[in-house]
Structure 1
Amino acid sequence: MQFLLKLSRWIDRLSEAMGWLTLGLTLVMVLVGSYNAIARYLGRFLQVNLSSNLYIEAQWYLFSLIFLLGASYVLEQNAHVRVDILYNRLSPKGKVWVNLIGSIFLLLPLCFVILGYSLPSVINSWQIWEQSSDPSGLPRYPIKSVIIVAFVFLALQGCSEIIKNIAILLGTETQESEVSQ
C-alpha cells in the first residue's frame, strides 16, 4: 500500500503542476482577450483592422486549455462541483465511500468512454492537419489532442483518489480535508 500511496502523491503533484499551468494560461487568456477588445474598438476608431480571428480563436483555445487541463487539479483539491443533496449529511467514512464508489463507477468509466470516442477524431484531425475554417484561424489538431491529455490526467487523478480513499478505509491514511468539504 505504501507504494500506491507514493504513486498517489506523485500523481497529486502532477495535478498541482497542472493547476499552476492553468493559472499561467488564465493570465495569458486575459491578456489576449484584453488586447482583442482594445484592438477592436481602437481599430473602429482609427478605421484600421487591428484584430483578427487568430486572437479570438487563441482566446477560445486558452479557455479550453484552462478548462480541460485544470480538471485534474480541481479534483485533487476537492474543489469540483458536487450535487450536494446528501453528501454533507454523511459521516466522514460515508463520504469516503461515496468518493470511492463515484471514482470507480462514474469518473473512470467516463474518462475511458471520452478517451475512446475522442481518440479517432484526434487521429483523424492529425491525419488531415485540420485547420479552422475561419480566415487567419488556428490549426485544430493540437487543441483536439488536449482532450486526450486532459482525460488521461483526470483518470490518473481519479486513480489517486481511489488509492487515498482505500487507504483511509484500511486505516493506512487519516482523513484529510478532501472528504470534509
Structure 2
Amino acid sequence: MNGLLRFSRGVDWVNAQVGKYIIWLILASTVVSGVNAVVRKLFNMSSNAFLEVQWYLFAAAFLVAAGYTLLHQEHVKIDVLSSRLSKRGQIWVDIIGFTFFLTPICLAILWYGIPFFLQGWRSGEMSNNAGGLVRWPVYAMIPLGFTLLMLQGWSELIKRIAFLQGRIEDPTAKRAEKSAEEELAESIRRLAEAEADAGKKAD
C-alpha cells in the first residue's frame, strides 16, 4: 500500500501542476476572442483560424484539466443521495464509481481516441473551413485529458482504500486552498509587480 500511496501522491502532483498552468489557456482564449472581435469591428476582417484557436484552447483547458478537477472534488455529485449515507458508505460509493464506471469509460475513450488522434496526425488533417487550422493538436487533447483523468481516478481510489484501512485521513475532506481563479489572479498580480519593479530599476 505504501507504494500505491507514493504513486497516488505522484499523480496528485502531476495534475496539480497541470491545473496550475492550464488555466492560462482560459485567459488566452479570452484574449484571442477579444482581439478577434475588435479586429472584425474596426477593420471588417477576420479569419477562421482565430475562431478555431479559441475552441482549441477551450477544449484543451476543459479536457486536460479534468484530472485536476477530480483532484479537487469539483465534479458534479449527487449529494442528495450520498449525503444520506455514512462516511464509509460515501467512500464505498466512490470506490465503486472509480472502479466500475470511471475507469472503463476512460479506457473505452482511449481505445477509440488514440487511433483517432494518430490518424489525424499522420494524415495532417486540416479544418474544412477556409483558413482553418490543422486538427491533430486538438485531437491529442482527448487521449491526454482522459489519461490524466483515469490516473487521478486511480489515485482517488487508492486514497479511499487507504482511508478505510486507517492509513490516511479522510481524502474527501475539503481543504482551505485557493481556487484556480484565485491562483491565476495572484500570478497576474505577481507578474505585474515584477514588471513594475523592472521598470523602476530601468529608470
Under a length normalisation based on structure 1, what TM-score does the superposition of the two structures give? Answer: 0.92
Name structure 2 gaps, 5 residues minimum: 176-203
- Out of 94, 98, 102, the position equivalent to 2:97 is 102
Letter in structure 1 aligned against 2:84: R
**One-letter amino acid of the structure 1 residue matched with residue 118 of structure 2:** I
Residues 96 and 165, structure 1, Cα contact 8 Å, conserved in 2: yes
| Secondary structure, aligned partner of 1:85 | helix
* Mapping for residues 76-155 of structure 1, pairs under 5 Å: 76-155=71-150
Deviates most, 62-71 or 22-31: 22-31
Specify the alignment match of 1:67 in structure 2. Answer: 62
> Which has the higher mean CA deviation after the structures are superposed, 78-87 or 128-137?
78-87
Q: Number of aligned pairs?
A: 175
Counterpart amino acid of 2:86? Answer: S
Q: CA RMSD in A?
A: 1.5
- Mapped partners of 1:180, 1:29: distance in 2: 30
- The answer (yes or no) to whether the contact 1:19–1:73 under 8 Å persists in 2 is yes
**Correspondence 1:175 to 2:163:** no
Secondary structure of residue in 2 paired with 1:86 = helix
Shift of 1:84: 3.0
Q: 1:13 matched to which residue of 2? A: 13
Shift, 1:179, TM fit: 5.2
Q: Percent identity?
A: 39
Spell out, residue by residue over 1:85-136, the C-alpha distance to the aligned partner (whole angstroms, 9 max, x if none): 3012222111111111100000000000000111221121112111111111
Q: Greater CA deviation, 83-92 or 122-131?
A: 83-92
Q: Which runs of 5+ in 1 are unaligned?
A: none
2-structure distance, mates of 1:144, 1:22? 17
- Provide, for residues 35-77 of structure 1, a one-character-per-residue CA deviation record: whole Å limited to 9, x for no partner: 1111111123xxxx2x211110000100100100110000000
Shift of 1:180: 6.3
Q: Is residue 129–residue 141 contact of structure 1 (8 Å, CA) maintained in 2?
A: yes
